[in-house]
Amino acid sequence: MYAQPTPGWAELFLDRWSGRAIRSRLEPMKSAARTILRYRKGILRWFHSNIANGLIESINSLVQAAKAKARGYRTIRNLEAITDLLAGKLDLRLPT
């Protein structure tokens, strides 16, 4: 779908593919098609923004790692500090 030349062609491709998948006798394909149709608007929005959610997923990964490291801290401020340290990838070693 992402190889289609225009958003209109991508929409047509997505609709045709999902229709064929839902009419198939394969339950996993039907389930996948329903999921894709549920997020159809967001999937097609990529053609206007060219932004994927990979960056957001990577930020979420950093926050989850910070939460694991900050377990036991009592405030959100400490979680934010750990997240900043992890996201910034600061080198805190002393110069030699």
Q: Which residue has the tokens 């997923």?
A: 57
pLDDT-derived band at 4 (thresholds 50, 70, 90) equals confident
- pTM score: 0.53
Q: What is the pLDDT of residues 22-72, one digit of tens each?
A: 999 899 999 999 999 999 988 888 888 777 777 778 878 878 887 777 676
- CB-based contacts of 30, cutoff 8 Å, min separation 6: 21, 22, 24
Contact 31, 23 (CB under 8 A): no
Looking only at Cα atoms, what is the longest distance across the chain?
A: 67
Centre a 10 Å sphere on the Cβ of residue 62 and count the other Cβ atoms it contains: 17
pLDDT value for 60: 83
